[in-house]
Structure 1
């Protein structure tokens, strides 16, 4: 019978293994580029890309684009959370609404957000409103889906007990339903963060946006500045990683009790 690794050993592995993976990728890219297997004009070495990425962090023009992308991402995600959680709670609390909305959500959710770009550009142009609208459409479904299922799965006995103590419906939602469904709702929010960021950068890249990381990549590509393209992609990757780590940290803080139960 195999022994489970100790908690300390698991923490060491969790810290070391990602570094090993990144180091292996870096060495592979460096060898492929410098050995001539791939033309360095199309695949700069890893060291050159890292150096260019660091330089971008001190480039005022890129920092403005980075700030634009982050601001658009935050706005789109907040709207997705407000709409998704609000509608999801209302639908999840009603058995009739749940049965009626479930097939609608399942039907509309797989529609690719990119397919809406031509219509969104026609109606809203290529400014902030268009990016936020498409990002909202893309990001709202995981939040709505998980909220619906999470609220619908709350034990009705806990709600009836709270009601028997004279709690109002608003109090029951705030003190019973939301905390019980919270971990599943947060899973939807975490999924939406990645989707929202990817959609926004894609929109900036292909929809002719005037600012943002995607717009910077498009301009660098047009100018054949390969190093700048890869550097911006690296910064985008680390931005996504930082956001994901922040969401995981918030999850450990907000739902520590749930994580403890899962480990137990």
Structure 2
């Protein structure tokens, strides 16, 4: 009798154990903690800006190579109002969104199949391990040769880069599904497809969402990089590259780079907020 009571008492003590400071249920950061992190980030950016302003104003760095931070901010405000920059932002965001959506459309079904079938996973693992380390930038000449410069080129490279986090997170999520839940669904007469649709995919959804969030940052990096290197493809990267190619536009280059960072920050915040909104109950730690 005593041996039956002790585990229950121990479990109750564990359930009453306080969560670490700054963490909510499932180890997720609380809203106050996230707000504190945001403010620390703002303070860090302002401190960096003050340092840059100081070193340029006292002449440690030539304004030709590094304009004062206040000058960059003023130029960024002007750049935001320019129609060509607004069109560049739209082009980049469309390429990013389309590439991310295509990555998810390919990676999620493939991840479900490989997660459910050990035979399929073992058969394709060597190919996946071979392709995964290839940097997408190395494929730019080949893709340009085959597809030319334009939206299609960016989409192919974004899909290749953003595919992997979604794919492997989906596989991990499928492996994490409770076997008893699948067996119970089958006992109620669910077909194999119905089990996948009603049990496997919903259970793996938090893992998939984390993969999509990680891939969103990768997709934006690849889009900007392709626009900077490839040329001909419109977007924020092309805007910065063209400003760099024209003399006496150093401020525009820095302003465009700063605004690229702002766009990336906004996308990351939105993706993180969406993940917390729909899967905040999940115990997966934030990456």
Note if 1:209 corresponds to 2:232. Answer: yes
| Aligned with residue 253 of structure 2, among 226, 229, 237 | 229
CA distance, structure 1, for counterparts of residue 87 and residue 209 of structure 2: 30
Distance 1:134 1:10, change over 3 A: closer
Instruction: Report the CA distance between 1:5 and its aligned residue.
Output: 4.0
CA distance, structure 2, for counterparts of residue 148 and residue 226 of structure 1: 46
CA distance, structure 1, for counterparts of residue 88 and residue 201 of structure 2: 36
Query: Residues 55-204 of structure 1: matches in 2 within 5 Å?
Result: 55-204=78-227
For structure 2, which runs of at least 5 residues remain unmatched after alignment?
Answer: 1-18, 23-29
Distance 1:38 1:253, change over 3 A: same
Which segment drifts farther, 191-200 or 148-157? Answer: 148-157
Instruction: Report the CA distance between 1:9 and its aligned residue.
Output: 6.1
Cα deviation 1:170-195 (Å, max 9, x = unaligned)? 32222211222122211211111111
CA distance, structure 1, for counterparts of residue 277 and residue 237 of structure 2: 33
- CA-atom RMSD in angstroms: 2.0
TM-score by length of 1: 0.92
| Aligned with residue 276 of structure 2, among 232, 252, 259 | 252
| Equivalent pair of 1:48/1:227 in contact (CA under 8 Å) | yes
Distance 1:209 1:173, change over 3 A: same
Query: Residues 19-38 of structure 1: matches in 2 within 5 Å?
Result: 19-38=42-61
| Equivalent pair of 1:105/1:145 in contact (CA under 8 Å) | no
Instruction: Report the CA distance between 1:21 and its aligned residue.
Output: 1.0
Aligned with 1:43: secondary structure? coil
CA distance, structure 1, for counterparts of residue 211 and residue 41 of structure 2: 25
| Equivalent pair of 2:151/2:233 in contact (CA under 8 Å) | no
TM-score by length of 2: 0.85
CA distance, structure 2, for counterparts of residue 137 and residue 28 of structure 1: 39
Instruction: Report the CA distance between 1:134 and its aligned residue.
Output: 0.8
Deviating 4+ runs (over 3 angstroms)? 3-12
Instruction: Report the CA distance between 1:59 and its aligned residue.
Output: 0.3
Which segment drifts farther, 131-140 or 206-215? Answer: 206-215
Cα deviation 1:205-233 (Å, max 9, x = unaligned)? 11112411111111100113111111111
Which segment drifts farther, 140-149 or 167-176? Answer: 167-176
| Aligned with residue 45 of structure 1, among 44, 68, 76 | 68
| Equivalent pair of 2:89/2:235 in contact (CA under 8 Å) | yes
Distance 1:262 1:56, change over 3 A: closer
Larger Rg: 2
CA distance, structure 1, for counterparts of residue 210 and residue 32 of structure 2: 27
Which segment drifts farther, 210-219 or 237-246? Answer: 210-219
Distance 1:73 1:190, change over 3 A: same
CA distance, structure 2, for counterparts of residue 9 and residue 137 of structure 1: 37
